[in-house]
């Protein structure tokens, strides 16, 4: 029992660190003045390189065998993660940021349903209530965003939410298999998908340096910690912790660029943070 408790705390810490890494996305997109497709290409390429360096280190150079070991579920994880990233980008283009963030906050509910169907994993009431509170917090942050007039973008956002729920459940279904190679493949696959629309040779040396930081410290590190932490906690809790990236992302942009958030944004962010803290802190029998 103690070993399970320690594993759960470790998984929680890894996922909080993953959400923190992911939350720097807004900071980097403000900082780097290149088009979205080119940014996604270099982000995926640098993120994939970081992940496969970690795979080579952990597997003592047995990279090919590690990729083979991920099996069909690992390939599905790679495909779902890559397509979810593309859906997210296009959802932001075709819908409002507020709508996309609210839909993104539904991932824990999608994950809970999928985990119940696929794994038979029943989430406890505290985590479900915390998830509902986090969704309400994101709704407050975004002004209870409506969905009118953005059907295509909203559908892409829902597709992204379903795909990310599938990623979490599939990682959770294979706790004995390292899915680091799967998320590494997903990063490279994302770069490959956007390559026809990108202009990778148009960036300057300084921009390439910043894109390298973006790909490694945000995308690659976020995926790395997600792959390590998800098998150690319930799929729904993992998704709930991921919602932290919304208020944290607002915080980094505020501190770095002086973009003062509205009172509703601060209030909603506090609700999200409180929901995650309560879920983690309350003892279960």
Q: Kindly give the confidence (pLDDT) of every residue in the chain, 285 residues in length, as a single tens digit, with 9 standing for 90 and above.
A: 566 678 888 999 999 999 999 989 888 988 898 998 999 999 999 999 999 999 999 988 889 999 999 999 999 999 999 999 888 888 877 777 677 778 888 888 888 889 888 888 887 888 889 999 998 888 888 776 555 557 788 888 899 999 999 999 999 998 888 899 999 999 999 999 999 999 999 999 999 999 999 999 999 999 999 999 999 988 888 999 999 988 898 888 888 888 788 888 888 889 999 999 888 888 655
**44-58 burial code (b ≥16 CB/10 A, e <16):** bbbbbbbbbebbeee
Q: What is the DSSP letter of 230?
A: G
d(CA 283, CA 285): 7
Evaluate whether 6 touches 178 at the Cβ level (below 8 Å).
Answer: no
Evaluate whether 41 touches 200 at the Cβ level (below 8 Å).
Answer: yes
d(CA 49, CA 69): 19
Q: What angle, 0 to 180 degrees and rounded to 10, lies between the N-to-C axes of helices 151-173 and 71-94? A: 160
Per the confidence metrics, is the pTM higher than 0.85? Answer: yes
- Written as six digits, the tokens of 186 are 């997903």
> What is the model's pLDDT at position 2?
64
């Amino acid at each position: 029992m103690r070993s399970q408790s320690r594993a759960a705390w470790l998984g929680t810490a890894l996922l909080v660190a993953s959400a923190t890494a992911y939350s720097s996305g807004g900071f980097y997109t403000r900082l780097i003045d290149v088009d979205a497709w080119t940014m996604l290409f270099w982000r995926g390429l640098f993120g994939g390189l970081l992940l496969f360096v970690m795979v080579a280190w952990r597997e003592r150079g047995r990279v090919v065998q590690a990729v083979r070991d991920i099996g069909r579920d690992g390939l599905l994880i790679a495909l779902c993660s890559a397509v979810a990233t593309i859906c997210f980008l296009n959802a932001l283009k075709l819908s409002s940021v507020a709508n996309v963030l609210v839909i993104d906050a539904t991932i824990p509910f999608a994950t809970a349903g999928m985990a119940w169907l696929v794994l038979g994993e029943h989430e406890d009431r505290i985590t479900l209530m915390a998830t509902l509170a986090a969704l309400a917090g994101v709704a407050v942050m975004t002004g209870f965003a409506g969905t009118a007039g953005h059907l295509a973008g909203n559908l892409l956002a829902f597709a992204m939410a379903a795909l990310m729920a599938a990623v979490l459940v599939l990682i959770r279904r294979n706790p004995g298999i390292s899915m680091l190679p799967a998320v590494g493949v997903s990063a490279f696959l994302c770069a490959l998908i956007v390559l026809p629309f990108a202009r990778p040779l148009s960036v300057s040396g300084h921009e390439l340096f910043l894109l390298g930081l973006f790909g490694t410290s945000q995308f690659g590190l976020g995926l790395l910690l997600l792959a390590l932490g998800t098998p150690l906690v319930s799929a729904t809790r993992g998704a709930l912790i991921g919602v932290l990236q919304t208020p944290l992302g607002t915080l980094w942009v505020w501190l770095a660029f002086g973009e003062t958030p509205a009172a509703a944004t601060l209030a909603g962010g506090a609700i999200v943070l409180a929901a995650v803290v309560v879920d983690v802190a309350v003892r279960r029998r």
